[in-house]
């Protein structure tokens, strides 16, 4: 049993009106609260694990929002951390149920790898999404035909049914941009993304039309980095930065690999990518030229039909 020092004063949880967001984000918010309370009491992961009859690694995963929560475990941890007032416990305990709800994307578990499921959950709750792409149009801006060509490239042996489900998942994600409180999507595309006729000329023309339609939304911004720039700030490849309204949730940098992904949230890492993104936006053609550039490339492609 952990006995706190006599001069320890319980730290109250951050005032928490149950935040809105996907279950992914709510788990991270709840985990961050529990980590802060544990750190303040000077309690180790091993000690917290014993209190809930679990390993220290489970407590660590809880604090990172990577596993579901049990009300009993959270209640026992709050007691261990000195949070005994019902007024303070109630918001956190009520958050457990919401954090355990499954999102719409769980219907696609057969084609959604765990490492990308996290991204979809974060994307669902982001207030801002910034993408830099060097090879493909970002998923949130892909037309159905273009998405099918991308999926076929990545999964050449997939059945027709699997291809259809992967494309439907990508199209379902795009509802986010037209929701009641959509994020601001700011995409910076290398010119090569638009010049590479993935799926054929017709598919690429339809894709450009799709981007032009998306630009009519007030929450969508697209810039293009022309070939004339030569080398540029993001020589390392594509990345995304997600920003959230929740104070307990830092910006997250997402780096996708062939069969996995990396999520960066340390302040120094995020700041480095934010700096690169800002430089890219300066090097890219201004937003006011995006439509003109897209129409010009589309006209060139049309002549090749």
pLDDT tens per residue, range 68-117? 899 999 999 999 999 999 988 998 998 898 888 888 998 999 999 988 98
Task: Cite the DSSP H helix spans in the chain.
Answer: 23-41, 45-51, 56-63, 71-80, 86-99, 114-125, 144-154, 160-173, 191-195, 201-214, 267-283, 290-302
- Radius of gyration in angstroms for the set of CA atoms belonging to the chain, rounded to a whole number: 23
Cα distance between residue 190 and residue 211, in whole Å: 14
Residue-level pLDDT at 18: 46
The Cα–Cα gap between 207 and 229 comes to 24
* Cβ contact 174:146 at 8 Å: no
Is-contact 133 190, C-beta < 8 A? yes
Distance, in Å, from the CA atom of 109 to the CA atom of 23, rounded to the nearest integer, reads 15
State mean pLDDT over 215-230.
94
pLDDT band at 14 (very low <50, low <70, confident <90, very high): low
**Phi, psi (rounded to 5 degrees) for 133:** -130, 140
The answer on pLDDT for 4 being more than 80 is: no
């Amino acid at each position: 049993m952990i006995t706190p020092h006599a001069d320890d004063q319980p730290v109250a949880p951050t005032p928490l009106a149950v935040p809105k967001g996907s279950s992914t984000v709510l788990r991270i918010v709840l985990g961050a609260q529990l980590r802060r309370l544990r750190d303040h009491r000077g309690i180790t992961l091993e000690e917290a694990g014993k209190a809930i009859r679990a390993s220290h690694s489970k407590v660590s995963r809880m604090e990172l929002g990577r596993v579901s929560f049990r009300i009993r475990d959270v209640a026992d941890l709050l007691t261990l951390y000195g949070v005994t007032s019902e007024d303070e416990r109630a918001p956190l305990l009520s958050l457990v149920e919401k954090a355990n709800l499954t999102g719409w994307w769980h219907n696609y578990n057969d084609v959604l790898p765990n490492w990308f499921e996290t991204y979809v959950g974060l994307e669902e709750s982001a207030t801002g999404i910034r993408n830099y792409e060097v090879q493909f149009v970002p998923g949130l801006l892909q037309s159905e035909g273009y998405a099918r060509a991308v999926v076929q490239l990545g999964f050449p042996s997939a059945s027709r049914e699997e291809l259809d489900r992967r494309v439907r998942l990508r199209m379902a994600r795009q509802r986010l941009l037209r929701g009641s409180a959509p994020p601001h999507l700011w995409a910076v595309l290398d010119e090569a993304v638009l010049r590479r006729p993935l799926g054929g000329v017709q598919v690429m023309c339809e894709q450009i039309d799709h981007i032009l339609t998306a630009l009519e939304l007030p929450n969508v911004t697209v810039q293009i980095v022309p070939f004339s720039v030569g080398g540029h700030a993001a020589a390392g490849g594509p990345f995304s930065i997600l920003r959230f309204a929740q104070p307990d949730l830092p910006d997250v940098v997402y780096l996708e690999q062939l069969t996995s992904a990396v999520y960066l949230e340390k302040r120094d890492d995020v700041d480095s990518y934010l700096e690169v993104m800002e430089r890219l936006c300066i090097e890219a053609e201004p937003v006011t030229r995006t439509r003109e550039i897209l129409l010009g490339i589309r006209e060139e492609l049309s002549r090749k039909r």
